[in-house]
Amino acid sequence: MDDQSCPQPRPPMLVPCNTDICPPEWVALDWSECTPKCGPGYRYRIVHCKSGDHGDTGPSSQCIAKDKPATTVRCTMRRCPLPRWVTGEWGECSAPCGLGQQRRSVQCLNHTGQSSVECPEVSRPSAMQQCENNCETGPSDSPDECKDVNKVAYCPLVLKFKFCSRPYFRQMCCHTCQRH
């Protein structure tokens, strides 16, 4: 029937209820991503003390401290890459002429480039190696002239240990090696 047929006034369709204001309570926002991106880390979130109608943020002292949700939690995204040995460029040869040594830096670094002690020692690259610089003959020397260049008398040892077959020793001890 239409409203005119019913006795007036019409009763209210809505009546207020629970008119008491609710006490303040903790409201937690969403969790952050896990930080760092690999290995063990943490997720964070913000937790506010809100008024009963969830309108205004109030001081934390208005909410019950023991009921406050966690603001951090442990997490692990994936395993981090293992630390690895990183080498620098080889330095200059220590000898301007003949055999010498050259060095380079060797460091164990983690995936962020920080120093680490977790690289396996058995796979550590060498930080030093033998090098050789050619000994040029001076302008007064005849290219056909064969002589022992090295000032140290080790050419007899080169001969004794049969090193004359090696180009470096054959050049340095030309005179000695030529006789045998």
- Spatial distance between the Cα atoms of 136 and 108, rounded to a whole number of angstroms: 39
**In CATH terms, is domain 81-134 a member of 2.20.100?**
yes
**pLDDT one-digit tens code per residue, 15-63:** 888 777 788 899 999 999 998 888 889 999 999 998 876 677 888 888 9
What pLDDT does residue 131 have?
Answer: 87
**Domain boundaries, given as residue ranges, for the chain:** 23-80, 81-134, 145-180
What pLDDT does residue 144 have?
Answer: 59
Q: What is the mean pLDDT of residues 77-82?
A: 87
